[in-house]
Structure 1
């Protein structure tokens, strides 16, 4: 499988501008001609290996900063949007989408916002939703979608919050007791702390300044919720400044995002960046050992692994996803080339769906997406009991994975034959190009169909070009 070419013209221009160099001076330091640099900055040529080495040598640049992960996210989202029948059968070639995502990302995001507004309006009309009476409501994403996209395009890494949490949990760079640190921080805010057998995981009374945590919740949940309250009280100024920069369109989106940022702080304080990364490398990303070492849950550890994207100190790029029993994606993030569908569920061939059949066990899968990229995928069912006989048990399946070239750094790959055939998976049936998938639920919107009443194979139609 050939290595994809790296087009990073926007990043090259940004580096040159930050250094205050002219194109001529920059080209001289990189050892290329002025026309060649101009072509790279306009994405007419890929960034060569020689230029990557020169950037690292001359400017000590972390070359992972040239990664096109953000552009690939935009390309994936645009492909899914353009599969909508409203655009007709002739979708733009993938090369055009990559040029738009690399050269005009703001325009590409505006297109995605426009399509999302159209889709919401169309769905409301189809269901006779009376929200059409509110003119502005149909032109905005839902607050939940707006927040989801905020974290999605931040690579699920919020530097200022992550560093603040790390300093809080390990100011001297050594492991500490996060629960004790949380109690001390809350006491400094005048908050009393107690546990009780109540209906809430966490309840804070602002009048009495009393924080109550559920005594029935696991220790990992109690620690996380205490740190969440620390974020809301002791780190409120930082959270509000981050929200100001995000420029959310509604008060509801801002409120949801604040909860997300407080959750981010809690996870980063429970598993401080440098200590957690060192432990992940030492244990070869053994989720159970990491959970035991940091007093966290398996889900918290998997999610934290997917956020290790600090510039200059990046971990393995993972994807992380959580699905419910209906197959609906409830959490999603990818620092890899694999991107999740914005609408609908995940591919049914993915092992994340089979994890419900084997509770408490890790499932492993070697998978290949239609673009030829191969992954090592882990999946595990996680249950969240409420602590009593009549309380409902919430069941999810979490998935964690990385591209197969990183598999050697994971303990889960030790006895796998990475040269054998990989199982085909896709993003969603709507945009999957595989013509012979036995689990396909709907036809691909980008391909023509041939229907012959006299023939029946796995599907009642054949997929053409």
Structure 2
């Protein structure tokens, strides 16, 4: 497979502007000519190895920050938007989309936002009887989607919150655990923590200074909720400053993001960055060992692994996703080139959907996407009991994976033959933008291909993809 060239013009321009350097000054420090730098900044040339080394030596840049993660996300999101039937036969070439994402990322995001606004308007019109007369019938992004995109484009890593959580976790002594330190912090503020038999996981009475945690919840969930509430109390100023920088469009989005940041703090305190990264590397990312060592659930561990993107100390770039039994994606993040569909479910050929059939077991899959990139994917079901007889059980499946180049760092890949081409299952992102012509699980035709329909012949599909 040919090595992908690195085009990072927008990031080079951003870095030069941040340093307050002219193109001539920047070129001199990188040891290249002015025209050459100009061509790199305009993505007419890829960033050379010499320039990458100069950036690391001269400016201490973590060269992984030049990766095309944001561009790949934008390309994936634009392709999905352009697969909307409203665009019919106007799908631009993939090269044009990559050029737009690299050279004009703000324009790409504006286009994605415009399509989302159109889609939501269309859905409101489809349910006109319900929407008529409502004051909140707006066309802007839903608060939930806005928050999800915020974390998505931050690489699911919030540096200030992550470091604050790590600093908090450093207070844990040799004979202590994170729960006892959190309880001491609550007690120092006059807050009583009580375990109560109740349906809610957490209730905080600010006036009476009582934090109630559900006695039905697992110990991992109780600790997580304790840390989450502590973040809202102790780290309120930091969280509000982070929210100010995000500039959400609505109070609802800001409120959802506030809970999201408190969740982030709780996970990062439970699994502090450097200690967790070292442990993950030591045990070769064995989720069960990490779960026992840090007192976290399998889902919490998998999610945390996907956030290890601190500049200068990055872990393996993982993707992480959670789906419900209907196949709807309820959590998604990718630090890899694999991006998830913004609308609808995930590819049915992906092992995450089979996890429901084998409860309590890890499923492994070697998979290849239409762009030729190969991955190793780990999937498992996750059950969240209600804590009492008759209470509903919430069931999900999670998947954690990375590009197969990192397979040697995963205990789960030890007996898998990653060199065998036939061992990789073909998966896609969304049927509408999937380029595979012979998929037996295709639900709708691809919009980028011409269809042939023969009334005298029927294969697996009622049409042939040209």
| TM-score, with length taken from structure 1 | 0.97
Change (3 A) 1:129 1:377: farther
- Structure-2 separation of matches of 1:37 and 1:174: 52
> Does the 8 Å contact 2:172/2:178 carry over to 1?
no
Give the corresponding residue for 1:394. 394
Give the corresponding residue for 1:257. 257
Select 1:429's aligned residue among 428, 431, 435: 431
Q: Deviations over 1:274-320 (max 9, x none)?
A: 11001001110000000000000000000000000111111100000
Q: Deviations over 1:394-429 (max 9, x none)?
A: 111000000000111111011110012210000011
Provide the secondary structure at the position in 1 that maps to 2:259. Answer: helix
Give the corresponding residue for 1:461. 463
1:223 and 2:223 are equivalent in the alignment:
yes
Gaps of 5+ in 2: none
Change (3 A) 1:134 1:436: same
- Structure-1 separation of matches of 2:374 and 2:305: 19
CA drift of 1:389 comes to 1.7
Change (3 A) 1:100 1:173: farther
> Does the 8 Å contact 2:369/2:427 carry over to 1?
yes
Q: How many residues align?
A: 464
Give the corresponding residue for 1:318. 318
Give the corresponding residue for 1:163. 163
Give the corresponding residue for 1:141. 141
Q: Which moved more, 1:47-56 or 1:269-278?
A: 47-56
Give the corresponding residue for 2:451. 449
1:34 and 2:34 are equivalent in the alignment:
yes
Q: Which moved more, 1:169-178 or 1:159-168?
A: 169-178
1:91 and 2:91 are equivalent in the alignment:
yes
Give the corresponding residue for 2:274. 274
CA drift of 1:219 comes to 0.9
Q: CA RMSD in A?
A: 1.5
- Structure-1 separation of matches of 2:293 and 2:302: 14
Give the corresponding residue for 2:21. 21
Structure 1 segments of 4+ aligned residues over 6 angstroms from their partners: 172-175
Provide the secondary structure at the position in 2 that maps to 1:353. Answer: helix
- Structure-1 separation of matches of 2:354 and 2:273: 32
Q: Deviations over 1:4-25 (max 9, x none)?
A: 1111011111222233332223
> Does the 8 Å contact 2:172/2:181 carry over to 1?
no
Change (3 A) 1:175 1:97: farther
- Structure-2 separation of matches of 1:74 and 1:311: 21
- Structure-2 separation of matches of 1:88 and 1:20: 45
- Structure-1 separation of matches of 2:134 and 2:451: 39
> Does the 8 Å contact 1:367/1:375 carry over to 2?
yes
CA drift of 1:26 comes to 2.1
Give the corresponding residue for 1:337. 337
Q: Which moved more, 1:329-338 or 1:8-17?
A: 8-17
Q: Deviations over 1:82-114 (max 9, x none)?
A: 111111213111111111111111111111111
CA drift of 1:149 comes to 0.8
- Structure-1 separation of matches of 2:241 and 2:232: 13
Gaps of 5+ in 1: none
> Does the 8 Å contact 1:170/1:176 carry over to 2?
no
- Structure-2 separation of matches of 1:250 and 1:142: 9
